[in-house]
Structure 1
Amino acid sequence: MEHKSIAFSVQDLTVSYGEQTALKNIKFQVEEGNLVGVIGPNGAGKSTLMKASLGLIPKDHGTIEFYGKPVKQMRENIAYIPQRNNIDWDFPITVLDTVVLGTYPKLGVFHRPKKADRKRAQACLEQVGLQKFSKRQIGELSGGQQQRVFLARALAQQTDIFFFDEPFVGIDASSEETIIRILKKLRDEGKTVIVIHHDLSKAEEYFDDLVLINQELIEAGPADLVLTPEVLGKAYKSQLPFLQSEGADE
């Protein structure tokens, strides 16, 4: 059996907001070439986990590594797409220029994108089916189209690790199908993709592995082993009757 490298490792991660503990001693690993969903109830700390892992917010303690290195040494090799409500859609920038921004991390300081970088951005727009919108202002697009533009920007970064925070919230079914198809293609190319996700009904179809948290780690492993009433009940305590009735209909 082929041995895979550990692309992303979280050890004893604890994060607090003032006196409130958001995450406590979270510990799991993700092998390279996996498509992984991070699930849990509202307020479980999913976005906090992602932001703390990427060094975007401070942590109380814990060790985060990407291929055995700290995030500051690997930043150029990581693409991060935040939640859509954290993005200024009124910013006067075109769709193509938004995607071109994905080439900046590898350009270095004081270097402007070359013709080849813009060509790569166009190719990434084609992958997400939005090449004909390249001259539109980003705010003119629908929610699903905007999410696909930011996926194209991530593709333009040419990284090995991708983080997406709730990419399927508030988008149309066609955009969701396009995005998950591309995420699976990235996985098949050996990339590592971590996605915060809320729709349990599609979790097994979409992801190889799942990380279930509710401030603490509940379970991490293959999707079919995490998505059992017993395991889910530990995280979604108040919703357990709903989960059991869902399973009874299958």
Structure 2
Amino acid sequence: MQQALRVENLSVSYAGHYAVEDASVSIEAGLLVGIIGPNGAGKSTLLKAILELIPSDHGRVEICGRPLQQSRRTVAYVPQRSEIDWQFPINVLDTVVLGTYPNLGWFNKPGRHERQAALECLRRVGMQDFAQRQIGELSGGQQQRVFLARALAQNADLYLLDEPFVGIDALSERAIIGILKSLRDAGKTVLVVHHDLSKATEYFDRLILINKRILNYGVAAEVCTAGALTKAYLGDLPFTNQLGVAC
């Protein structure tokens, strides 16, 4: 099968200390992949380094066999909500229209076609009735759905989402995971930084287990073993008492 993402020996350090060290993984197209690990394990850093949003010490990243510079338009990114200025004076529809820019080319502006596409993306996430709201007026779950709609408007092949389920309501979480699974079913590839281990095997086809180094990658049920998680979480396993193993 075609590789959607290949990461080779990617390392990122801050002040001489590794946040991610020699990370290597190959992900096939058409998978929904969760990135799990303890706090400070380098999950978000890994995504940002893949996208070259932060500098890496060394390593190589390929998107569908090409470097990021040649495939950037095919990659959509949803950052953590804490990184977004929710007071910025822009409404929901215009926020989603921004997702069409990578496909417009230089000096072109979005027109009627792009606005209709943005409205369709809002309908997909159940936010069409909020098109004229300022983004700061929305709840956390609504904000997350809007930024997912912006990513959908890009019509990418690879989607990277950083903690999309943090601080949102259960209805929004169900809606978002449903959309991510529909993207997977359409042949897209989706990577999600995730913290709730109790839902990892339910949500994802594959899991990346990381604690600065990538410790395991594979089928969710096989990655979520007590031994692997004990190593990654240094013995501090959430949900172990309830489920026997963390996932």
User: In structure 1, what residue type is equivalent to 2:242?
Assistant: E
Q: Per-residue deviation at 1:70? A: 0.7
SS of residue in 2 equivalent to 1:239: coil
170, 175, 178: which one aligns with 1:173: 170
Alignment partner of 1:194 is 2:191 = yes
Q: Per-residue deviation at 1:114? A: 1.3
TM-score by length of 2: 0.97
Unaligned residue ranges in structure 1 (runs of 5+): none
Q: Could you say which residue in structure 1 is the equivalent of 2:66?
A: 69
Q: Per-residue deviation at 1:112? A: 0.9
2:36 and 2:195 in contact (8 A); partners too: yes
Instruction: Output the CA distance in 1 between the equivalents of 2:104 and 2:232.
Output: 43
1:9 and 1:64 in contact (8 A); partners too: yes
2:209 and 2:217 in contact (8 A); partners too: yes
Instruction: Output the CA distance in 1 between the equivalents of 2:44 and 2:81.
Output: 13
SS of residue in 2 equivalent to 1:144: helix
User: In structure 1, what residue type is equivalent to 2:134?
Assistant: Q
Q: Could you say which residue in structure 1 is the equivalent of 2:25?
A: 28
Alignment partner of 1:236 is 2:233 = yes
Q: Could you say which residue in structure 2 is the equivalent of 1:126?
A: 123
Q: Percent identity?
A: 58
Unaligned residue ranges in structure 2 (runs of 5+): none
1:35 and 1:209 in contact (8 A); partners too: yes
Write out per-residue CA displacement over residues 123-173 of structure 1, whole angstroms, 9 at most, x where no aligned residue.
Answer: 000000010100000100000000000000000001110000000000000
Q: Per-residue deviation at 1:243? A: 5.0
User: In structure 1, what residue type is equivalent to 2:170?
Assistant: A
1:39 and 1:212 in contact (8 A); partners too: yes
Q: Could you say which residue in structure 2 is the equivalent of 1:245?
A: 241
Q: Per-residue deviation at 1:238? A: 3.6
1:229 and 1:243 in contact (8 A); partners too: no
Instruction: Output the CA distance in 1 between the equivalents of 2:140 and 2:243.
Output: 31
22-31 or 168-177: bigger deviation? 22-31
Instruction: Output the CA distance in 2 between the equivalents of 1:249 and 1:70.
Output: 38
Q: Per-residue deviation at 1:9? A: 0.6
Residues 98-247 of structure 1 aligned to structure 2 (within 5 Å): 98-240=95-237, 242-247=238-243
Instruction: Output the CA distance in 2 between the equivalents of 1:189 and 1:26.
Output: 28
Instruction: Output the CA distance in 2 between the equivalents of 1:248 and 1:34.
Output: 27
1:166 and 1:196 in contact (8 A); partners too: yes
Q: Per-residue deviation at 1:174? A: 0.3
Q: Per-residue deviation at 1:35? A: 0.1
Q: Per-residue deviation at 1:247? A: 2.8
Instruction: Output the CA distance in 2 between the equivalents of 1:142 and 1:110.
Output: 34
Instruction: Output the CA distance in 2 between the equivalents of 1:248 and 1:43.
Output: 24
Instruction: Output the CA distance in 2 between the equivalents of 1:36 and 1:77.
Output: 17
